[in-house]
Amino acid sequence: MRETAPVRGHLPDENPGFVGRRTELERVSAALAEHRLVTVTGVGGVGKTRLVLRAAHRAADGHPDGAWWTDLSQLDGDRLLVPLVADSVDLADHTPGMSTTGLCRRLADARLLLVLDSCEHLAESCARLVAELLAAAPGLTVLATSRRPLGVRGERVVALDPLPPAGRDALELLRRAAGEDLPAAGPAGEICVRLEGIPLALELAAAQIRLQGAEAVRDQLDTRLDAPPDARFDLLAHTERVWPSRHQTLRAAIGWSHELSTPLERLLWARLSVFRGPFDLASATAVCAGGPLDRTTLPGALDGLVRSSVVRPPDAAGGLRMLDTLRAYGATWLDRTGETATVAERHAAHFLGLARRAETAWHGARQLRWYRTVDAHHTDLRTALDRLLRTDPDAALDLVGSVAFAWSCRGRLHEARDGLERALLLSGTRGRARARALWALGVTLVLQGESGAAQEVSERCAREARYTEHAGASPYEGAPRGDRDRDRDRDRDRGRDRDRPGDLTLDAAALAGLIALTTGRPMAAHVVVGHVLDAARGGPADSAARLRCRLVRVFALTGLGRLAEARERALRLRARCEELDEHWIRTALEYQLALTGLLEGDPVAAADHARAMLEGTRGLGAGLGVALGLDVLATALAAAGDGERAADVSGTGEAYWRSTGQPRRGLPGLRALSEKYADTARATIGEPAYEEIFVRALTGPPQAGLDRALRVPRQG
């Protein structure tokens, strides 16, 4: 019997404060049933996101491939539009070339609902992308929010007005947000009318009700909103995009909240506008402290902004953020204070420092923590990179070289490649930062299947490593100061021999060996990494670069048929990684041990190692690693005679391969084994049964298939 599986897709949890909108929900639902593009329009703060999220949850079951959410408010410009949409639909795009191609291929046969939230600042780019996707994917439906229509042919526009000011829904929203059972007759009802039923304005008023009481809030609004527009809270002149001339009430409500904030809260509000993604207290302090807003006063100011609903409370991951409308208001005040450039520089410097710490911590017990930190702060790392590419290309090269490997592991290959190529082009610096960036670019190209381009970059990486470590350049150039001091002390204590390869040369060799492995040349891989490992000074696991070289050597030995030696080296290296709490190398070693088990005729051991690999790659969010692991597990199950489970795992693997945008691939030895044992499984259970199970897994939720694959069958 087929197991019950969760619905495919990803939607944020609904806002528990959602109130009313029954008629509007029906209009959106009806439009989705008849049109492939539905755009909900309305002014900022009117509740477009909440309505569309509720509508998407209601519509998800009607789309076999689920509903997927993309928050576009985090983008400042359209260059990362396609990668963000691809990431939102779980496309860890490993294809070379234009990322739009991979996205179109991913969605071509899909029957899903794609939600694009906050399109207004990218309306033209969104319109082009949506038109291209709808043409390429007949089963695709797009639901968008924007302050104006996208203008795509066939678009159905649903205009969203505020809640009826004197109706029960506006009052209920105010009650829920304030946490009080406010009577309809009296100040609460008057507040709803004065604020014209605008949800965001009502939430800001509710925050003040919690602090001051409904009567005081009503009196303040009566005084302020009756004043001439130019006299309200010293309001700023905002662009039409942010403050439509036909709707000044929300502008006044935000200005009122701004006036009620303390001077320190207003200053923090302005400075926090530089963050485009979620932030925490540590990041806010690093970027926003200065002048009267210091490390002792900033936490209180931040708490005040949370209490007044200017900053959203922490999410499940502890991240804080502002709604786009409130962030835009703060950005205008930041510009008025003349601090825009200064705060942006602090923001870039902070995330450059975070990137450097993440790269340093890769070799050690904090690897997984920092990997997740880089992922959580991805939006602001990209924002910092974009600024540094304009203002300080050398720093940009340092930043992207520090995080690009983590981005590639996470499946963000287009972003890693784009950032690396731009920084390498714009920066003229030589030394460690450049060698590291070339290594990361080479790995990215390998993962995209571009072996020719990767080979050229590999040669450049090796030259840069030699220049840095053996020619007049400082090998510490581009490294954080603490790292430079530590490395200089270490090399002085050891009496550093400049003729011996260092970590940059080791990584260059690991890259060359990786290319050789993926192009079917295990002997070349073994020779190149063996040469530098034998010549390098230090212990076998002194650095991440040494571990990477040793990993390549293990795979090379496997490819050469020296299986006992490969297994023995792999087990020793895995034990060292466990001592270090190193995850990435350990996961790759489980893959190698699974492959060795297959080649030695031990499918049970191979399946155990494959499951260990899958647990690791799932924790890293590495879609390509999951696809590779499912392939070796399916092969092991088929070799063990379990044709039904082999078909199920193979179908799930195909689904993950499609999410990478690439056909199935892997080491040459595994491909031959997979084909051999797949034929055996088909013969064991019959072609029709195999195909039925395979297709069912392929078209089902991939996560559910992965969960099934990780279950160890009971021994009968």
Nearest in space to 202 (alpha carbons), one of 236, 178, 226, 232: 178
- Residue 2 has what pLDDT? 30
Q: Is the pLDDT of residue 231 over 60?
A: no
Rounded Cα distance between 371 and 150, Å, is: 37
Model confidence pLDDT, tens digit, residues 677-708: 888 888 888 989 989 999 998 888 888 888 99
DSSP codes of every residue in 33-47 = HH-SEEEEE--TTSS
More confident residue, 619 or 415: 415
Output the pLDDT for position 620: 79
- The residue-averaged pLDDT of 274-288 equals 94
Residue pLDDT, tens place only, 344-357: 999 999 999 999 99
Judged by DSSP in three states, 329 sits in helix
Does residue 675 register a pLDDT over 60?
Answer: yes
- Name which of 79, 55, 12, 83 is nearest 142 in CA terms: 55
Q: φ, ψ for residue 48 (rounded to 5)?
A: -60, -45
Record the tokens describing residue 197, joined without a space. Answer: 């039923």
Q: pLDDT for 48-90, tens place per residue? A: 999 999 999 989 888 988 899 999 988 888 888 888 888 888 7
Smallest CA-to-CA distance from 202 within 38, 19, 369, 340 is with: 19
Question: Are 66 and 8 a contacting pair, CB within 8 Å?
Answer: yes
Whether the pLDDT of residue 475 is over 60: the answer is: no
Q: What pLDDT is recorded for position 232?
A: 39
Alpha-carbon dihedral 148, 152, 154, 159, rounded to 10 degrees:
0
Task: Compute the residue count for the chain.
Answer: 716
246 pLDDT more than 50 = no
Tens-place pLDDT, residues 573-597: 999 999 888 888 999 999 999 999 9
- Top-confidence residue, 449 or 246: 449
Helix (H, G, I), strand (E, B) or coil at 98: coil
Q: Residue 240 — pLDDT band, cuts 50, 70, 90?
A: very low
Nearest to 408 by CA among 387, 439, 369: 439
- Laid out side by side, the sheet with 37-41 consists of 9-10, 67-71, 113-117, 141-146, 37-41, 156-159
pLDDT at 149: 93
Region 230-241: mean pLDDT is 39
pTM over 0.85: no
CA angle 491, 576, 478 (to 5 degrees): 35
Question: CA-CA distance, 235 to 255, in Å (whole number)?
Answer: 6
Q: Which residue has the higher pLDDT, 665 or 211?
A: 211
Q: How confident is the model at residue 20 (pLDDT cuts 50, 70, 90)?
A: confident
For the chain, what percent of residues have pLDDT higher than 90? 47
Confidence band for 281, pLDDT divided at 50, 70 and 90: very high
pLDDT at 622: 75
**What pLDDT shows up at residue 64?**
87
Spatial distance between the Cα atoms of 10 and 199, rounded to a whole number of angstroms: 25
Q: What's the pLDDT at 495?
A: 42
pLDDT confidence tier of residue 109, bands split at 50, 70 and 90: confident
DSSP 400-451: HHHHHHHHHHTT-HHHHHHHHHHHHHH----SHHHHHHHHHHHHHHHHTT-H
The two tokens of residue 683 are 């013969």
The Cβ of residue 299 has, within 10 Å, a number of other Cβ atoms equal to 12
The arithmetic mean of pLDDT across residues 33-52, rounded, is: 91
Higher pLDDT, 55 or 414: 55
Q: Where is pLDDT greater, at 459 or 240?
A: 459
Tens-place pLDDT, residues 477-499: 545 555 555 555 544 444 445 56
210-213 long-range CB contacts below 8 Å, 24 or more apart? 210/178, 210/179, 210/180, 210/307, 211/307, 211/308
User: Buried b / exposed e across 578-617, counting CB within 10 Å, b at 16+?
Assistant: eebebbbbbbbbbbbbbbbbbbeebbebbbbbbbbbbebb
- Going by pLDDT thresholds of 50, 70 and 90, the confidence category of residue 212 is confident
List, as own/partner pairs, every contact residues 675-684 make where C-beta atoms lie below 8 angstroms and the sequence separation is at least 24, other chains included.
677/635, 677/638, 677/639, 677/646, 678/634, 678/635, 678/638, 678/646, 678/650, 680/638, 680/639, 680/643, 681/637, 681/638, 681/642, 681/643, 681/646, 681/647, 682/643, 684/641, 684/643
Q: Distance (Å, rounded) from C-alpha 140 to C-alpha 66? A: 10
**The predicted structure's pLDDT at residue 662:** 62
287-328: pLDDT as tens digits: 999 999 999 999 999 999 999 989 988 887 788 998 888 898
